Structure 1
Amino acid sequence: MAMELPGIGRLAKGVATNRWMVVVATFFIMACSGATYNFGIYSDVVKTSMGYNQETLTTLGFFKDLGANVGIFSGLIYDLTGPWVVLMCGAILNLFGYLMIWLAVEHKISPPAIWKMCLFICIGANSQAFTNTGVIVTSVKNFPNNRGLVIGLLKGYVGLSGAMLTLFYQALYGNSPDKFILLIAWFPCLICLMFLAVIRRMPPTGPELAASEKKIFQAFLFIALALAGYLMIIIVVQHQVKVPRAGFQALAAIMLLIVMSPLALVVRDELRKIEQEKNQELKEGAKTGEEAESNSKLALAGNPTDIGSIQPHDQDSELETKRFALDWKRTEGIPGPKQGILQEGAKTGEDDCSNSTPKELELAAGKESTHPETLNPEPRSKKFTLDWKKIRRILWERPARGSDYNIPDAIFTIDMFLIFVATTCGVGGGLMAIDNLGQIGKALDLKVDTFVSLISIWNFLGRVGSGFASEIALQRWGVPRTLFFSLVIGVAAIGHLVIALNLPGALFAGSILIGLTFGAQWALMFTIISEIFGLKYYGTLYNVGGIASPVGSYLLSVRVAGALYDKEAAKDRARSATVGRIFGRILAVASATGNNCKGAHCYRVTFFIMAAVAVLGSATALILTVRTRRFYRKIHLKMKETT
C-alpha cells in the first residue's frame, strides 16, 4: 500500500502530473525556441568575422531556414516513438550546431569552409523543427477541439522568444553579439531537458469540455498579452534612453516572473482537485458510517427472515436442480435441448435440399462430384489484367476533407499544393525581411536590436491573434480559416510596399505589418493542415507544410535579395572610387564600404518584388478558400451544435 504524501508533497506531485502543467511546460520550451528569428542580431558579426559578402550571408540564412522548417524526420520519429525522443534529439542538435558556429566566429577552431558553416547552422536550426513537432503536435492531439487556440498560443510564444532572448542576452552579456550565439547554444537546450518528462500524450477531451478549456486558454492568452505589452514598453524605453546592464538585469527578472505566472493557474487547479477529493472522501466516510449504524440496529432488533424460513426454498431448489440434471451417457437416445435444435435444423435442411440441384446435393452431402472439373482439379493460370478502377482510385480518389489522410494521399492533393504555394509566397517574403533586417537597419543607420525585438513582438501578436480571431469567426459566422489566410498575405504585400517607398517611419510601420502577417500565416497554415488532413499523421504533415518556408527563403532571400544587395553595394564602391579620382584622391570610403551598401536604394527593388509575390500568394489562398468553403461550412455547423 502506497504511503500517502504530506500536503506539500502531494501538491507538488499533483502539479507535476496535472493536465495543464503540460501546456505550461510547452510555453516555457517554445519561449526559448525562436533563435532563428534573431539572425539579424548576430548576422553582421558572422559576416565580418568570416569575411562573407551579402550573397554568402543570405545563403547561410537560407540553410538556417531550411533546418528550421524541414522537419520530415522529426515528424516520422514522432509518429513512431513519441514526444520525449523528439525533444531529446532537438536539444542535442541545438547545442551542437550553435556551439560550432560560436567556436568558428570566436576563432577557437580553424575557419571552416562555407559548406561546413551552412551545415552547422542547418543542424542548429533543425532543433527548432524537432522542438515544434514534439510540443505542438502533442498539444493539438491533447486538445483537438481547441486546436486553433493551441497553435496560436504556442506559435505565438515562438515569435515572442526573439524579444525575450534579446532581453535575456543583454542582461547576461551586455552588448556583445558573439555571446548571443553562445546563449542560444546552451539556454534552449537546458530548458528543453528540464521539462522533457512533463511533455506527454494524454487522452483527448471531448467536445463537451471545449467551452471550459477555452476559458483557461483565454487566461493564458491574457498572460501572454501582458508579457508582450511589457516587452513593447521595454523596446520603446530602450530606443529613447540608454539602459545600463543592471537595468536590463532587473527588467529580465520581471520578465521571468511574468513568464512563470501561468504556474499559478496550475496550482489553483490542483488545489481545487485536492479539495474535491477531500470532500468526496468525507461524503463516502459519512455514507459508510450510516450504513454501519443501520446494520447494527438491524442486528440488535433481530432479522425477521431466519434460517428456518429459507429452508423450504433451499430444499425446493435442490430438488429442482436434481430433477433437471441430465446424465447424457444414460439418455443418449433421448434428444436433449441442443440435440433437438440440431435435429430440427437437419429437417429444415432436408426440406431445403428437396428444391436443390443434384450437384448442390452432392456438394452438401460431402460426396465427390462426377463433374470432370472436380474429378481432375488443375490450377487455372491467372491472367494479368489491369484493374483500372483500382488504379484510378489510387491516383485520383482521396478521403473526404477532415478525415485522417495517409502521408502520400495528403501530399499529392491540390489542397496541399495550394497551401504550399501560398506559404512559399507569404512566409518566404517575411523571412527575407527578417533575415536581412540587420543589413537593412545598417543601410539606414538604425539600431538593429530594436527592430528585431519589435518584429518579434508583432510576430507573436499575429500568431496568437490569428488563432483566436479565426476560431471565433469560424464558430460564430462560419468564416473559413482559409479566407483569413488569404487576407493576411495580402496585408503582407502592403508592409513590403511601405518599406520600399521609404516614407518617414517606414521601417517601424513595415516591421509591424510584416511581423503581424508573418506570425499569422504560420498559425493559420498549421491549423488548416490539421483540419483538412486529420490528426493521425499530423506529426509528418505538419512538417510537410513547413518545407514551403525554406523554398521561399531560397528563392526570395538568396536569389533575389542577396544578389540585388551585392549589385547595389558594387555600384556604391564604383561611385565612391569615381568621386575619389575626380577630386585627385582615392577615398578610403571605397575600401571601408567593403560589401556593405548605404541608403534606401539597397532594398527598394527587392521589396517591390516581395509585394508582387505576396499578391500572388494571396490569390492562391483565395482559390483554396473557394475549394474548401463547403468543408468549413460543415465545421461551423458542428461547432454550433457543441456550444
Structure 2
Amino acid sequence: MVQLIDDLFRMRMLIAGIYLALGISSMYGFSIFTDHLRNKYGYSQSEITTISTVGICVGYCGFHAGVLFDYVGPTVLLPLGGLFGCLGFVLFGMTFDGTITTSSVALFALYQGITSLGLPMMDVSSVMSLMLQFPLERGYVVLIMKTFNGLGTAVLMAYFNGWFKAANSDQPEENNYSGYAYFTGGQILLCSLIGACFTRLPTYFPCSWTKKRLSSEEAAEREKTLDLYMSQHVCGECCWTHGHGVSRYEVVRVTACRQDKDTDDHCTSHWLPVVGGGALPLCRATGECAAAAVFAWSHGQRRWLGCGRDRFTDYVL
C-alpha cells in the first residue's frame, strides 16, 4: 500500500503561516504611535522607549508559548494568542479616542505587554508547526516566515499612510490613531483565526493532550508516518482531487492509464490513503507521466480526474 502526505494541505498551511507572520509583525510597529504619544500626552523619548521596551522584554520571555504549544497544539494556542494581541491594540485605541480616560506610561506599557504576550504564541504555533510539517524543507520555511515578519511592518505603515493618516495635513494630532489601533487588533485576531483553521501538527507529533488519549497501537501507527515526512519532498507538479467525496484519512483506489485508456494493458492501480488532509497527489502517487489519465474510486463511484501539468478538473462519470 502506497502512503502519501497531502502536499496541498501543507501548502495551504504555509500560506496561512504567511498571514500569521503579517499579524505577528504588529509587535514591531509600535513606532507609529511615537508622535501621537509625544504630542498628545507629552511623553519624553525616554518614557516612550520604556513602553516599547516592556513589550520587547515580555515578548522575549515567551516561554509560556512553548509550554502551551507542546500541551494543546496550535489549534488552541493561535486563537488565544490572537485574543491577547487584539486586546492590547483595542486598549490602545480606547485610550486614544477617550473611551478610557486614564492614561499613563504604566498603562501604555501594560497594553504593550498584553500585545507582546499573545504574539509570541502565534509565532511559535506557526513556525514550529510548519517546521514539523516540512522536515525536509524547514530551512526554507523559516526563511519565508521570518521574511514576512519583517515585511509586515512595511505593510502596516502602508495601511496607516493610506487609510488613517490625515490626507491634507502634516499635523500628527489629526491622524486617526485610534482607528489604526482597532484595525490592527482586528487584523491580528483575523490572522490567528485563519491560522487556526489551517494549521495542524503532523500525524507523528501529537500534542500532549492528544497523546494522553491515544492507545499504544494508535501512537505506534502515528509514529510510523515519520518516515513519510522524512522521505517526501514538497511536490512541484502534482494533480489533486478537490473534495467531491474524497475525505480525510479515506483509502481510495487510484488507476493511472498511460494512453488515456481504461484497459488492463495501459493502466496500473493503487490503493492510496489520504494522510493529513482533504486532497491527494495522484500523479506522484502512481509514478506515471504528468499527462496520464487518472481514475479514482471513492464511495463506490468512479471519477475521472484528467491529470495534466496544470490542476485538473474533477469529472464524475
Equivalent of 2:241 in 266, 274, 277? 274
Equivalent of 2:96 in 73, 93, 105? 105
Residues 305-332 of structure 1: CA deviation (Å, up to 9, x unaligned): xxxxxxxxxxxxxxxxxxxxxxxxxxxx
- The aligned length equals 219
Does the alignment pair 1:47 with 2:38?
Answer: yes
Q: Which has the larger radius of gyration?
A: 1
Asked whether the 8 Å contact 2:129–2:200 carries over to 1, the reply is: yes
Asked whether the 8 Å contact 1:94–1:123 carries over to 2, the reply is: yes
Separation in 1, partners of 2:61, 2:176: 27
Does the alignment pair 1:195 with 2:222?
Answer: no
SS at match of 1:98: helix
Separation in 1, partners of 2:137, 2:194: 27
The aligned residue for residue 111 of structure 2 is 120
The aligned residue for residue 307 of structure 1 is none
Percent of paired sites with the same residue: 17
Separation in 1, partners of 2:41, 2:163: 25
The aligned residue for residue 140 of structure 2 is 149
SS at match of 1:34: helix
Residues 237-291 of structure 1: CA deviation (Å, up to 9, x unaligned): xxxxxxxxxxxxxxxxxxxxxxxxxxxxxxx85xx1239x999336597449x9x
Separation in 2, partners of 1:143, 1:189: 26
Asked whether the 8 Å contact 1:83–1:199 carries over to 2, the reply is: yes
Separation in 2, partners of 1:172, 1:52: 26
Letter of the 1:274 counterpart? T
Separation in 2, partners of 1:69, 1:144: 25
The aligned residue for residue 181 of structure 1 is 181
Separation in 2, partners of 1:282, 1:156: 40
Separation in 2, partners of 1:287, 1:173: 66
Written as runs of structure 1 = structure 2, the 5 A alignment for 1:53-452 is 53-175=44-166, 176=175, 178=177, 179-203=179-203, 205-209=228-232, 212-213=233-234, 269=238, 272-274=239-241, 280-281=254-255, 286-287=263-264
Separation in 2, partners of 1:18, 1:147: 16
Separation in 2, partners of 1:279, 1:168: 49
Asked whether the 8 Å contact 2:78–2:195 carries over to 1, the reply is: no
Letter of the 1:281 counterpart? T
Residues 140-166 of structure 1: CA deviation (Å, up to 9, x unaligned): 111223222111110111110011122
Asked whether the 8 Å contact 1:37–1:162 carries over to 2, the reply is: yes
Asked whether the 8 Å contact 2:27–2:115 carries over to 1, the reply is: no
C-alpha deviation, 1:136, in angstroms: 0.4
Residues 384-430 of structure 1: CA deviation (Å, up to 9, x unaligned): xxxxxxxxxxxxxxxxxxxxxxxxxxxxxxxxxxxxxxxxxxxxxxx
Letter of the 2:15 counterpart? V
Written as runs of structure 1 = structure 2, the 5 A alignment for 1:503-542 is none
Residues 167-226 of structure 1: CA deviation (Å, up to 9, x unaligned): 2233333442613322211112112213322110124554443xx43x86xxxxxxxxxx
Separation in 1, partners of 2:25, 2:14: 18
SS at match of 1:31: helix
Structure 1-normalised TM-score?
Answer: 0.31
Separation in 2, partners of 1:56, 1:195: 35
Asked whether the 8 Å contact 1:50–1:105 carries over to 2, the reply is: no
Letter of the 2:254 counterpart? Q
Separation in 1, partners of 2:176, 2:48: 16
Write 1 or 2 for the structure with the bigger share of helix: 1
Residues 120-149 of structure 1: CA deviation (Å, up to 9, x unaligned): 111012222011011001111112232221
Letter of the 1:131 counterpart? M
Asked whether the 8 Å contact 1:97–1:121 carries over to 2, the reply is: yes
Asked whether the 8 Å contact 1:45–1:177 carries over to 2, the reply is: no
In structure 2, runs of 5+ residues without a counterpart are 1-5, 167-174, 204-225, 247-251, 268-317
The aligned residue for residue 285 of structure 2 is none
Residues 566-625 of structure 1: CA deviation (Å, up to 9, x unaligned): xxxxxxxxxxxxxxxxxxxxxxxxxxxxxxxxxxxxxxxxxxxxxxxxxxxxxxxxxxxx
Letter of the 1:280 counterpart? V
SS at match of 2:200: coil
The aligned residue for residue 33 of structure 1 is 24
Residues 515-571 of structure 1: CA deviation (Å, up to 9, x unaligned): xxxxxxxxxxxxxxxxxxxxxxxxxxxxxxxxxxxxxxxxxxxxxxxxxxxxxxxxx
Asked whether the 8 Å contact 2:133–2:229 carries over to 1, the reply is: no
Write 1 or 2 for the structure with the bigger share of strand: 2
Residues 51-82 of structure 1: CA deviation (Å, up to 9, x unaligned): 21121111101112123322111110111110
SS at match of 2:137: helix
Separation in 2, partners of 1:98, 1:18: 32
Asked whether the 8 Å contact 1:49–1:105 carries over to 2, the reply is: no
